[in-house]
A and B are shown apart, each in its own frame.
Chain A
Amino acid sequence: MKRSTKRSVDQQKSGRILGMPEQAVKIATVVVLIGIWEMLSQAGILNPLHFPRPSKLIATFWELVTVGYPTGITVWVHIKATVVRILQGYALAAVVAIPMGLAIGRSHLLLRATNPIITFARSIAVISLLPLAIVWFGVGELSRILLIAWGCFWAILTNTVQGARQVDVNYINAARMLSTSKTQLFFRVILPATLPRIFAGMKIGLGVGFMVIIAVEMVGTIKGLGALIQQARFYYSSHIAIDGMIFIGIFGLLISFTLDRLERIILPWAVGLEEVER
């Protein structure tokens, strides 16, 4: 009920705002905000050390692409390092979390046994695990990938568990009336019924991956968007830090967009059915 009301309100909103096309309004809002920012900086109201001018950010942007920061390490190197790390950690998390979540969600015993552990472990921030990870796995790539995996893992796990345990009993009864074996019940009912929720967990997990990247790239590397921001922080180069943030944001946006597209292709029947839980 609630959901459908919400959707209809959204539909009213979409299309045109104040007689202008929605896309134009969105772009105009961003342009105006940046314009105000530039003017306040030019007028000396904003401290340039705290709030670098947008025009300076664009110049820095170009510098990062061509020269790099530190010199020689262009933004492409940073992006590649970060994306490879996130994807490795993310894939590792998914491979472990999905089967585990399905098992926990379909077993009362496992669910009750693991519930407190899951709630406890998911509240531990990745950054607080950094010292331990360094002791256990060193300052190399392994530590970073495992920390990213840790961050993504809980989002994928908890969503998979919820999805698996909430499979509509009507589906299960209907299947039982149709000569369904235990294996068939899992692969032909439980798994597809849980997929939308698994996908939601994968989307949130990826977001977490981008969020923890700063913490993960804090030590032992100068390559990666997180490392770039760390370096910039070290030298009070706010303009570089902000550009790094923008790169991360753009990447998050692109990947989330790709996942939405992918979901429409893989789960055409589920689009709009599931509300993503954060």
Chain B
Amino acid sequence: MSKDGVEVLVDRITKCFGADGMALQDVSFRLFTNEFLSIVGRSGCGKSTLLNIIAGLLSPTEGKVLINGQPIHGPGQDRGMVFQHSGLFPWLTAVENIEFGPRNRGIPRDQRRARAMELIELVRLKGFENKYPRELSGGMQQRVAIARAMAMDPKILLMDEPFGALDQLTREDMQRELLRIWETKKKTILFVTHAILEAIFLSDRVIVFNSKPGYVKKEFVIDLPRPRQKSSPQFMRYYEEIYEAIG
């Protein structure tokens, strides 16, 4: 997989929350174009906070985020986000959820519907486009959430434990689906999880986060061909090393 250029530069980010102290301390790393990078760490280690800062939903106390050399000011069309609890709007159907962003931008109805239907096909939900979120399973809801994040055609996908609430089997299906989408659509993905196996299965690189305060502890390049076998000895070696690094 060819990796060209730095897409996202996280530059010495520190985030303090009032009296709760420091959530992130001096976090720096790079995310390359078309790369799949995961951040793993214990719950509450600040990885979601970091993702929200890169998304532009939170501002850092210190430091900055550069995208293609430009500092970010709030959310932007270049970034899409998938949340753990899908955040799908329950009052809109699947296809209307996907059209939400394009409609905000005033894209004509026919055009945005056609685009949304393409995405419905991409996430394999044909036939479910007119269902409300509550009528869909957890896995299907996350498919809609991925399609919705992709509707603005962002170059970067930020994913905050997107499969954390799914059962194990659905979760493994979704991991394969995500890789397929990533490979066909050429996206740069920053994926936050606390599941080590998931991170190794998906990523080009895995960053291990320290807990309280959060900072980059260690970095692993996952040098295994895809599709990866979770039972292979190399895979298990990565698992043990990362597990140890988390501490």
Binding site for B on A (CB under 8 A): 168, 170-171, 173-181, 184, 188-189, 192-193, 195, 267-270, 273
Contacts and interface: CB of A to CB of B under 8 A. Distances in A.
B104 A179 contact: yes
Nearest to B89: A171
B83 A179 contact: no
Contacts, number: 66
Contacts of B112: none
A193 B104 contact: no
B77 A173 contact: no
Interface in B33-92: 52, 55-57, 74-75, 77, 79-81, 83, 85, 87-92
B149 A177 contact: yes
10 contacts: A168-B87, A170-B85, A170-B87, A174-B87, A174-B88, A174-B148, A177-B101, A177-B149, A269-B91, A273-B90
B100 interface: yes
B75 to A, nearest CB: 5
Nearest to B106: A179
B91 A193 contact: yes
A178 B148 contact: yes
Contacts of B56: 176
Contacts of B74: 176
A77 B81 CA distance: 60
A273 B132 CA distance: 13
Interface of B: 52, 55-57, 74-75, 77, 79-81, 83, 85, 87-92, 100-101, 104-105, 132-134, 148-149, 151-152
A178 B100 contact: yes
Given A173-B83, A176-B75, A177-B55, A195 B101 contact: no
Given A178-B148, A179-B77, A268-B132, A173 B87 contact: yes
A177 B75 contact: yes
Given A168-B87, A171-B87, A178-B151, 9 more contacts: A170-B83, A173-B57, A177-B80, A178-B100, A178-B148, A184-B104, A192-B89, A192-B91, A193-B89
A193 B105 CA distance: 21
Contacts of A269: 90-92, 132-134
Contacts of A174: 81, 83, 87-89, 148
A271 B3 CA distance: 49
B92 to A, nearest CB: 8
Nearest to B74: A176
